[in-house]
Amino acid sequence: MGAIAIIGIIAMQAYWVTNTWNLNEEEFDQKVHSVLLNVAKKLVKLKGSTLPLDIVKRQSPNYYIVNLEIEIDANELEYYLSDQFQEIGMNANYEYGIHDCSSNQMVYGKYIKFSEEKKDVTLGELPKYEEFTYYFGVKFPDRSGFLLGKMQLAVFLSILLFMTVLFFAYSMFVILRQSRLSEMQKDFINNMTHEFKTPISTIKISSDVFLKNPTIQKDSRLMRYAQIIKEQNQRLNNQVEKVLQLAKIEQNSFQLNKEYINLHQLLQSVLESARVNTDFSDEIFDENLNAFNPTVLADKLHLSNILHSLLDNAIKYCKDKPRIAITTKDLKQGREIELEIKDQGIGINKEYLPKIFKKFYRVPTGNIHNVKGFGLGLYYVKSVCDVHDWKINIDSEEGKGTTIKIILRTNV
């Protein structure tokens, strides 16, 4: 479509420029004919003669022959030519010559310039015309330049359009190249993450064997190392699974296994898991589960993942001790549930909020990198909400915390 658009634009511009050139040529020819006819009338009237039948002949695009059948005085001819061209406001440079009957040669007259521009033009080459005896010739050596001068706007717009088309064509080339590179990158990431699955599974089995070994259980230091191996392996597995699921979403091969889920029960399970994984001994969650009908139709795995991801962000991005409020309430007479997760953490600057759900995007924190991540968490959350046709909204203020609201549909 882009190529067709470019060809269409170039064709229309070429037609417009050609049509403008033809109109200017026609106007030029009509004005020259008018001027030469008036000059011929004045010369004939001055001599008291009459005009012949065949007066003005166009020999070439820039050369005209005027038949008079009377002797022509060079001074009178030059005067009338200059007078008539000035009268119609035609400032095209020209040269003229008069046919000498005695020598049967064109006698060169003069080159009349209306502008001071110096152009490389060939002067003095005025061919004879065998059918006439008393005649003069007028030639416009820089006729093409004169016509182009009248088309300055069209030429400027054509150059501008040509540059625009070149830029557009280059942009198309870059876009296609970037698309190919993007596909290659996606294939590489997908293949790499699939290759990770085997060693991750092997490490998990090995860590489980270590944790169940009586000798390891008796040594607290080895037990701690084995636990770290299992935790970090699970963390790596979660990241790989997230990348694989995102790849499926982008390739439109994402399959949802929807089932009816009690949102409150799932939240309790996720909160309990989050409590175990934190270092805070006292309560950090404030639960207000007020939805009357908490049953939603969703993919349990992905719903659990986004709840874990949101709570994990709320815990990580806090000043000191996290304080998180989880609220549910009915909307539209129970047809929808609003899930709200509100923290009192570091918050996000307003200028970064429109980009927060983009892939690989992380809020700039200067040289501070105390929280690790790939910028996939919120992108994954948004993608899952989109495939479920849920609405998600984020509101945040730097230094005061962040509030995320998700509108889920119930089974009503």
Q: What pLDDT is recorded for position 118?
A: 55
- Among 124, 150, 176, the domain-final residue is 150
Residues 225 and 139 in one domain: no
Q: What pLDDT is recorded for position 367?
A: 44
Q: Does residue 406 have a pLDDT over 90?
A: yes
Residues 146 and 10 in one domain: yes
More confident residue, 399 or 29: 29
The rounded distance, in Å, linking the Cα atoms of 97 and 76 is 13
Q: What's CA 104's distance to the chain center, in Å?
A: 69
Element (H, E) at 138: strand 135-139
Q: Which range marks the domain in which residue 273 is found?
A: 258-409
Residues 268 and 244 in one domain: no
Structure tokens at 162: 């040509």
* Mean pLDDT taken over the chain: 84
More confident residue, 102 or 336: 336
Residues 219 and 173 in one domain: yes
Residues 242 and 316 in one domain: no
Q: Other C-beta atoms within 10 Å of 388: how many?
A: 21
Q: What pLDDT is recorded for position 256?
A: 79
The domain tally of the chain equals: 3
pLDDT band at 325 (very low <50, low <70, confident <90, very high): very high
Interval 365-376: pLDDT, tens: 654 445 555 667
Residues 106 and 192 in one domain: no
Q: What pLDDT is recorded for position 142?
A: 85
Residues 242 and 290 in one domain: no
Q: Mean pLDDT throughout 89-115?
A: 85
The rounded distance, in Å, linking the Cα atoms of 322 and 126 is 98
Q: What pLDDT is recorded for position 117?
A: 60
Q: What pLDDT is recorded for position 155?
A: 84
Calculate what percentage of the chain has a pLDDT beyond 70: 92
Q: What pLDDT is recorded for position 368?
A: 45
Q: What pLDDT is recorded for position 365?
A: 62
Q: What pLDDT is recorded for position 369?
A: 46
Q: Write the Ramachandran bin of 124: left for phi over 0, alpha for psi from -120 to 50, otherwise beta.
A: left
Buried/exposed code over 15-41 (b: 16+ C-beta within 10 A; e: otherwise): eebeebbeebeeebeebbeebbebbbe
Q: Does residue 404 have a pLDDT over 50?
A: yes
Q: What pLDDT is recorded for position 189?
A: 73
Q: What pLDDT is recorded for position 116?
A: 65
Q: What pLDDT is recorded for position 125?
A: 76
Q: Mean pLDDT throughout 183-193?
A: 76
Q: Does residue 269 have a pLDDT over 50?
A: yes
- Among 250, 283, 304, the domain-final residue is 250
Residues 312 and 232 in one domain: no
Query: Could you please report the per-residue DSSP string of 11-67?
Result: HHHHHHHHHHHHHHHHHHHHHHHHHHHHHHHHHHHHHT----S--EEEEETTEEEEE
pLDDT band at 399 (very low <50, low <70, confident <90, very high): confident
Residues 403 and 265 in one domain: yes
Q: How far is CA 407 from CA 99, 308, 379, in A?
A: 96, 17, 17
Residues 240 and 98 in one domain: no
Residues 44 and 86 in one domain: yes
Q: What pLDDT is recorded for position 338?
A: 92
Interval 189-213: pLDDT, tens: 777 777 888 888 888 888 888 888 8
Q: Are 291 and 328 in contact (CB under 8 A)?
A: yes
More confident residue, 181 or 411: 181
Residues 164 and 123 in one domain: no
